[in-house]
Structure 1
Amino acid sequence: MHQAACYPIGTPGQPWGEAERAQWRALQQPRRSYRDEVVTAIDQLGAHFEVVHYGQLDDPPERYPLLALRSRRWDQALPGALVTGGVHGYETSGVHGALQFLRLHAERYAGRVNLLVAPCVSPWGYAHIHRWNADALDPNRSFRADSPAQESAALMALVAPLADQLLMHIDLHETTDSDETEFRPALAARDGAAHVPGSIPDGFYLVGDAANPQPGFQQAIIAAVARVTHIAPADANGQIIGSPMVAPGVIHYDVKRLGLCAGMTNASYTTTTEVYPDSPRTTPAQCNAAQAAAVCAGLDYALAHR
């Protein structure tokens, strides 16, 4: 079945052009406040971290500042760690898990590591509860030279001076039921492709770098998160979202080739988290705590094995 036919925009089998993208864009409306829910929380952390304004997205009448927080006492002798959230803006716990890490846990790493945290890379996506940006582009497939996504390009410019100095980069994501009901059908329609229905894993998992898998690092994070929420099992084919499970709760992608955020640096330890917020076995608070626990476990392992 050509699932693109079921999507209300476009012609089955034909990629979208400018008219279809404009039609899609006209349907998107803000559904929550980035300023009230994210910018305010970042401002509240300003007493303890340096707030970095590294760009702005203009969507008249709205303007979305791109904000990061970094250690105030930056020490060039220390290793660096990058935490990113909200690359897909609709993935709520990626944003609020990053903020929770800063609020509750970051102080214990003071004097041990330089922290750079971008809690909400895609604020338009956050406000509109969407995977894509306002141009119907996926920011998490756009971390490459000459990126077409403003959000991705701005973050790469911010991180570029540190790209070879980072010990760790952890990118915080969610896999949601809406991936299957909305975003994968929309992707198929946009690209003029067939949508093959899939399944959503019930639980937390990690996407490691196939070129630099770091199994000890991945399993340290899985062990820590398992104390907060459940870990996704493999499906009947031994896979998670179509990729072989290489260790409990871990799959691999070629992150640099795919243009994923986790591949934007040369950090020794990298991973992408995936929380499942729609499970009846977890809560939003647990999802946020799981993301914060993943950051802590990743830092603890990386610092112990540098």
Structure 2
Amino acid sequence: MRYKQAIAYDDANFKEVSMQRQYPIGTPGVPWGKTEKQQWLERQSVKRSYNDEVVSQIEQLKHAFETAEYGQLHYQTQDYTLYALTTSHWNENNPTVLVTGGVHGYETSGIHGALDFASTQAKKYEEQYNFIILPCLSPWGYETINRWNPDAIDPNRSFYDNSPAQESALATQFVLQKSNNILCHIDLHETTDSDNSEFRPALAARDGKENHNWNIPDGFYLVGHTQKPAAEFQKCVIEEVKAVTQIAPSDINNQLIGVPIEQFGVINYDGTALGLCMGMTNAPYVTTTEVYPDGKNATPESCIVGQVAAICGALKFLQSNSRPSY
């Protein structure tokens, strides 16, 4: 994909020098209509298989979890079935831990991290917690390696009433019907180089705004919720992940993705106001993980290990601290 002017960085601090770009769809300064969204959709193509790479793994976990088809996504290109894994011996007296992956379908380690946790770690904690695991909320995004759904909507900005994103609405409906006793929610994500090369320019073009990229953090970091930051909880997660992969250092402005850090490896967003997945419940402990799969020391395996460590770090904190009342 070609742009009017490439972005440049200085090697020492990855400081952005130029952001002037012309996205190949639409008119600068004019939000997209149906025609531009259709042009964008026609540029997308399937690059990998949701059934072969995700559903097949869910099928292998039927002996350990209840598997539920919690909805169908109906698009002009294809229909998709959405799956959840839940604790097979559900105990109403136990609090629930929610794990979500693939809200942005292109963020691969979030999906496979959720599945790996379900396969290798979840049983260790099932006497204390019920689990709801939604491994891949956006299967079309997974297949086409996209941040948006086919309607050019970002599911991770769409967790609110009357959501325009099927992915967000169906996930919220299932989770809230399954449990009103959710103690913790870990939402698994990645920050990739394609955020700057494709997704942020596309967002600016779609909305008719000027593009502003951010410095991509080199490593793992967390996004907490400003309404319930839970600093010690976030710290415990970071400490657990630090043992297996690199934590992203802040930039020269003491920020990550343009947001001031709250503590080492942690920034905060208002997840509810922004319609983020981590704001979908009233859980007192919530966090969004961010892994950098494009780092020179990163591998697909190390990214998955980091995601699993984050979930285990969250559970470690819960086990060591008194449970809040609901």
What's the TM-score, normalizing by structure 2? 0.91
1:14 to 11, 30, 37: 30
Residue 255 in 1 paired to residue 271 in 2? yes
| Cα 1:219–1:64 shift into 2, 3 Å | same
Cα distance in 2, alignment partners of residues 255 and 154 from structure 1? 18
Structure 1 pair 228/7, CA: closer, same or farther in 2 (3 Å)? same
Give the conservation status (yes or no) of the 8 Å contact 1:208–1:218.
yes
Per-residue deviation, 1:181: 0.3
User: Deviation digits for residues 60-87 of structure 1, max 9, x if unmatched?
Assistant: 5632110010000000011101000000
Q: 1:53 aligns with which of 69, 85, 100?
A: 69
Alignment of 1:37-116 (within 5 A): 37-59=53-75, 62-116=78-132
Q: Which amino acid aligns with 1:71?
A: T
- Structure 1's 12 and 300: CA in aligned 2 closer, same or farther, altered over 3 A? same
Q: Report how many residues are paired.
A: 306
2:305 match: secondary structure: helix
Q: In structure 1, what is the equivalent of residue 299 of structure 2? A: 283
Correspondence for 1:160: 176
Q: Partner amino acid for 1:210?
A: T
Contact 2:112–2:135 (Cα < 8 Å) also in 1:
yes
Q: 1 CA distance for matches of 2:77 and 2:41?
A: 15
Question: Would you tell me which structure has more helix in proportion to its own residues?
Answer: 1
Match of 1:200 in 2: 216
Alignment partner of 1:231 out of 223, 247, 250: 247
The 1-side partners of 2:272 and 2:47 are apart by 32
Match of 2:201 in 1: 185
| 8 A Cα contact 1:201 1:241, kept in partner | yes
1:215 maps to 2:231:
yes
Shift of 1:164: 3.6
CA distance in 1, matches of 2:40, 2:47: 16
Deviation at 1:260, TM superposition (A): 0.2
Q: Distance in 2 between matches of 1:49 and 1:64?
A: 21
**1:140 CA drift (Å):** 0.2
- For normalisation by structure 1, the TM-score amounts to 0.97
How far off its partner does 1:161 sit? 2.6
- Aligned residue number for residue 152 of structure 2: 136
User: Any stretches of 5+ residues in structure 1 without a counterpart?
Assistant: none
Name the SS for the 1:188 alignment partner.
helix
For 2:185, the equivalent position in structure 1 comes to: 169
Partner Cα separation in structure 2 for residue 197 and residue 61 of structure 1: 30
Of 258-267 and 160-169, deviating more is 160-169
| Matched residue SS, 1:6 | coil
How far did residue 163 of structure 1 move? 5.8
Partner deviation per Cα, 1:246-293 (whole Å, 9 max, x = no partner): 100000000000000000001111000000000011211010011011
Considering Cα pairs closer than 8 Å and 6+ residues apart, tell me whether 1 or 2 has the greater RCO.
1
What residue identity is the alignment partner of 1:261? C
Q: Which amino acid aligns with 2:45?
A: Q
Question: Could you list the per-position Cα deviations for residues 130-180 of structure 1 after superposition, in whole angstroms to 9, with x for gaps in the alignment?
Answer: 000010000000000000000000001001235641010000000000000
